[in-house]
Structure 1
Amino acid sequence: MKHHKVEPIFAVCINNKDYEVSLELRKIYKVLHDAKAAEHHYIRVIDESGDDYLYPEDYFIPIELPKAVEKALLLVS
């Protein structure tokens, strides 16, 4: 069985209503793959606490970043 390397996914927060302490508007967050959450229109994000939590998917816009930027963000997370 082959294991495929999952590329990092990032998203920008565009809404933090009811999550002002956990999410910063216009900040880039790392998103973890969670198929079950996606079925319910949520995404798993590493938030300001440093832990991963579920948030409504429409609070974020997925983005593609240059590899150098992804690498830099992964080093600090």
Structure 2
Amino acid sequence: MTKTQAKQLVVCVENDGYAVSLEKRKIYVALRDAAADKHDMLRIVDESGEDYLYPKAFFRSIALPQAVRRAVLAA
């Protein structure tokens, strides 16, 4: 698995209790974490630049064209 394949792009649809850490309608990188997945959580690289666990219900997966995906991940 390549480094970019281990990352999923998601959009934030809810941020109750995390307004400082998450912005609604913003695209975030979700890192694969099997333990978090078992608890309905996602490991998200948030506004601090660090990765933390957030409820999976706060996000929706998105699919982007490959060129756009590469640009988002490079930003």
What is the TM-score with the length of structure 2 in the denominator? 0.92
Gaps in structure 2 of 5+ consecutive residues: none
Q: CA RMSD in A?
A: 1.0
Sequence identity percentage: 48
Q: List, as ranges, runs of 4+ consecutive aligned residues in structure 1 with deviation greater than 2 Å.
A: none
- Which of 1 and 2 has greater Rg? 1
Q: TM-score, normalised by structure 1?
A: 0.89
Residue equivalent to 2:2: 5
- Match for 1:19: what amino acid? Y
Deviations 1:4-63 (A, max 9, x none): 336131000000000000000000000000000000000000000000000000000011
The residue identity in structure 1 corresponding to 2:53 is L
Match of 1:49 in 2: 48
Q: Which letter maps to 1:9?
A: Q
Instruction: Please report how far the alpha carbon of residue 75 of structure 1 lies from its aligned counterpart in structure 2 after TM superposition.
Output: 1.1
CA distance, structure 2, for counterparts of residue 72 and residue 5 of structure 1: 16
Unaligned runs of 5+ in 1: none
